[in-house]
Amino acid sequence: MSVQSVTLEKIVALCKRRGFVFQSAEIYDGINGVYDFGPLGAQLKQMIKAAWTKNVTSFAEDVVLLDGSILGSAQVWKASGHLDNFSDPLVDCLNCKKRFRADDPDINLDKACPSCGVKNWTGVRQFQLMFQTNLGALSDAASVAYLRPETAQAVFVNFKNVMTSSRVKIPFGIAQIGKAFRNEITPKQFLFRMREFEQMELEFFCKGEQASSFFDLWCERRKQFFINLGITPEKLRLRPHAADELAHYSKACFDVEYEFPFGWKELEGIANRGDFDLSQHSKFSGKELSVFDEATRTSYVPHVVECSVGVDRLFLTLLFDAYYEDNVEGEVRTVLRFSPKIAPVTAAVLPLTNKLTEQAENLYLDLKAKGYRLQFDASGSIGKRYRRQDEIGTPVCFTYDFQTLEDGTVTARNRDTLVQERIALDQVEGYLQRLLA
């Protein structure tokens, strides 16, 4: 009876209606490729980031955290290769003045512009994706800085600082969550391709001979992470990069892909990057970034396995995957079937009528004080309130009714099965604990 028919338009509308995501500066007509996250969106992002941190830091080897700066000097981006290579091919339509990525599958330079139907292209040129700014009052070459297009470089430039201050030993990882900025030529598909977004990146350092087995371990672990978040396993796959897709220094690269309505697309990139990153920064900074191996009494530059996923892209994936429409009592019901572990609201407490508001509120306040993510909703018919909670993915609603006054039980209504059972008030917390376990 499920009539799952998710589209990007439905997701965008639900996100706005229920306070997950808003176009940034919407009252000034918005800013392209930039979004603000409303109360439920901000909460969902927190859940995603906490789950990711747990997944990477619970690895058998040490994984420590870092929170690097967003502004980076030109030297950092020269060494990383971004200043010379981080660009996309750009083409303009001279007739309608629209800009496109020349490698966009919808663009064929032998054919007319898809926007205006006229064939009048400029030549293809490379467009630098990093946002440039100036530090301080002078705008000269020495003051140039860039907003980071990925978080990883802060990890590499701090590699020695972390090693000497934290007493971690190879193999170990450094994990970081933070904003990244890319001046995407055509931001599109909502949160899929943004200009300001958040990344969760793990750089795992090991000896060269260990890299391919850690690479395999991380590929499996990261795919399993998405399954544990409740994402449909059949809609996930690990796709190896073909030889011509690999960066020259990269030994292997797999994308974790998800089957979006607009095709299989990258959710996370996992790469065996060899010793490229530390070698480059050592070369450009003149600082020693190798480590000494006591066993062999020799120094070596560690290799890196990188796992890089966008918070926002995972957010969008979770929405697509959780979105369902079914027919309940002749009406279409929209429901987000989030795993309880990730749902921004775990439970709603609903008084059946206004007369019961005070008693129901006591239950709500008691559980809220214990740290559960709850909503209290007393307005509208009970059916309408259930629908509102379904639409934001709340796994259970506890309804306080007149029977509660008599026998101390509430109705627990399950979002997915719609089954309603009566449970004692003193069992509500245990119910929540089981849901979150």
User: Is residue 156 involved in binding ligand ATP (CB under 6 A)?
Assistant: no
- DSSP class of residue 120 equals -
# residues near ligand ATP by CB under 6 A = 16
Closer Cβ to ligand ATP, 259 or 366, answer by number = 259
Find the angle CA(48)-CA(51)-CA(52) to the nearest 5 degrees.
Answer: 85
Q: Closest approach of Cβ 130 to ligand ATP, in Å?
A: 12
**Counting contacts by CB under 6 A, is residue 182 touching ligand ATP?**
yes
Interaction of residue 236 with ligand ATP, rule CB under 6 A: no
Check residue 306 for interaction with ligand ATP (CB under 6 A): no
CB of 143 to ligand ATP, least distance (A): 27
SS3 state at 427: helix
Q: Is 199 in the site for ligand ATP (CB under 6 A)?
A: yes
Residue from 148, 193, 223, 388 in contact with ligand ATP (CB under 6 A): 193
Establish if 89 lies at the interface with ligand ATP (CB under 6 A): no
- The full length of the chain comes to 437
What does the DSSP assignment read for 167-232? ---SSEEEEEEEEEE---SS-BTTTTB-SEEEEEEEEEEE-GGGHHHHHHHHHHHHHHHHHHTT--
Q: Residue 258, interface with ligand ATP (CB under 6 A)?
A: no
- From the CB of 292, what's the least distance to ligand ATP, in Å? 32
Q: What number of other Cβ atoms are within 10 A of residue 420's Cβ?
A: 11
Report d(CA 102, CA 196) in Å as an integer.
22
**Binding of ligand ATP at residue 19 (CB under 6 A)?**
no
Q: What are phi and psi of 78, to 5 degrees?
A: -70, -50
Burial zone of 238 (CB within 10 Å; 0-12 exposed, 13-18 middle, 19+ buried):
middle
What are the tokens at 5? 């028919």
How far from each other are the two terminal CA atoms of the chain, in whole angstroms? Answer: 29
Q: What gap in Å lies between CA 343 and CA 179, rounded to an integer?
A: 23
In the complex, minimum distance from the CB of residue 117 to ligand ATP, in angstroms, rounded to a whole number: 28
104/266 with CB nearer ligand ATP: 266
Nearer to ligand ATP, 152 or 360 (CB): 152
* Contact mark string toward ligand ATP, 106..145, x via CB under 6 A: ----------------------------------------
Contact residues for ligand ATP, defined by CB under 6 A: 150, 182, 184, 193-194, 197, 199, 266-269, 308-310, 312-313
